[in-house]
Structure 1
């Protein structure tokens, strides 16, 4: 019965739990961000901070880790959540769902290149948007461990 009790999980088992729950949280928070922005057609930069904190809180609660690798998982999962949310907000939700269900995943690579290009734009709104995304990732990184 020790395997079902989080107090008796060793560090590697807690790390695996942190990866799984962080991935689920990234999908949930990224989808929530994507739904909100696709319905109202306004991007809230403060949502990136909330996404980072939400993903980090889930990793902290379920992973109960103190090592740097938990922080790296928090940053990676937050980046994935932001990318997923941006993809859902650019494509509409029904179009995004139909693209996923079609099995043709080449649109992800195309969107990734376009996403990187938009992050590298030199206008003020692009720089601020990138800054808030980086702040969200930083919060996902720093808040994923128990201090």
Structure 2
């Protein structure tokens, strides 16, 4: 196993590395998606699948895990990336930074709940967009481990 794990990290250290690098990838990919969407004023639903693959590849590369907990991290980080991307496209990067550094938990919760209410409508476009987001999270979940 030392040949495969060149840095001699144990399973817990690789899990922590997967969380840290997965979060960094989520922030970068989420902001990148949000900037592209804000500049072009078009939502690319296929980008959610690419975000899922990107985060899963990062977690797979740095975590090299085979346990379910790596899959859960992949799903959570993909959700965070999609959430950050949607916020960035609607209120800009500076607005997202101010929102999360303000420390006002009620504003953050209200923003999150209004984000979830968007998908509660029966608009077919919102349902299709929700389906692509869920597919991206599923891909982040299933592709985060070494098979």
TM-score for both structures, normalised by structure 1:
0.89
1:37 and 1:89 in contact (8 A); partners too: yes
Contact 2:31 2:93 (C-alpha < 8 Å) held by counterparts? no
CA contact (8 A) 1:33 1:47 kept: yes
CA distance in 2, matches of 1:145, 1:69: 9
What is the alpha-carbon distance in structure 2 between the residues aligned to residue 6 and residue 29 of structure 1?
27
Determine the C-alpha separation between the residues in 1 that align with 2:69 and 2:102: 35
Question: Gaps spanning 5+ residues in structure 2: where?
Answer: none
Do residues 12 (structure 1) and 12 (structure 2) align? yes
Instruction: List structure 1 runs of 4+ shifted beyond 3 angstroms.
Output: 93-107
1:103 CA drift (Å): 5.4
Provide the C-alpha distance between the structure 2 equivalents of 1:120 and 1:131, rounded to a whole number of angstroms: 12
| Whole-Å separation in 2 of the counterparts to 1:38 and 1:103 | 26
Say what the alpha-carbon RMSD is for the aligned residues. Answer: 1.8
Count residues with an aligned counterpart.
Answer: 144
Does 2:127 align with 1:127?
Answer: yes
Q: Is the 8 A contact 1:99 1:105 kept in 2?
A: no
Contact 2:33–2:85 (Cα < 8 Å) also in 1? yes
Listed as ranges, the gaps of 5+ residues in structure 1 are none
TM norm structure 2: 0.89
CA distance in 2, matches of 1:36, 1:106: 29
- Deviation at residue 35 of structure 1 after TM alignment: 0.8
Partner of 1:27: 27
CA contact (8 A) 2:55 2:140 kept: yes
